[in-house]
């Protein structure tokens, strides 16, 4: 169908059981192209398209948003990973 498709995907990526390598990723996409991404390891928004570069500059000026995104490893990722991992471990 004709139209526009915009979405956001939040991911928590890790491979160790103590979550020491956990990374929070937020990707903002428009019509199947990722325009801008936040990576907690990098600590800022990075534009991946011409439009995304402008978005990243705008987002990075908002220090409250950047700090909230950096903290997502501890406030969003780790608690959810602990809950889901313990559910899996309890069943084995």
Tell me the per-residue pLDDT of 5-47, one tens digit each, with 9 for 90 and over.
899 999 999 998 889 999 999 999 998 899 999 999 999 999 9
Q: Give pLDDT tens digits for 37-75.
A: 999 999 999 999 999 999 999 999 999 999 999 999 999
C-alpha count within 13 angstroms, C-beta hemisphere, residue 92: 5
The DSSP bridge partners found for residue 28 are: 8, 36
Angle, nearest 10°, between helix axes 63-72 and 50-61? 100
Q: What is the DSSP letter of 89?
A: H
């Amino acid at each position: 169908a004709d139209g526009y498709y915009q979405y956001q995907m939040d991911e928590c990526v890790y491979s160790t059981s103590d979550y020491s390598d956990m990374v929070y990723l937020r990707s903002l996409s428009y019509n199947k192209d990722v325009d801008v991404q936040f990576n907690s390891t990098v600590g800022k928004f990075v534009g991946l398209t011409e439009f995304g570069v402008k978005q990243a500059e705008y987002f990075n000026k908002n220090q409250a948003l950047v700090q909230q995104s950096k903290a997502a490893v501890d406030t969003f990722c780790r608690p959810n990973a602990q809950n889901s991992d313990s559910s899996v471990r309890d069943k084995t």
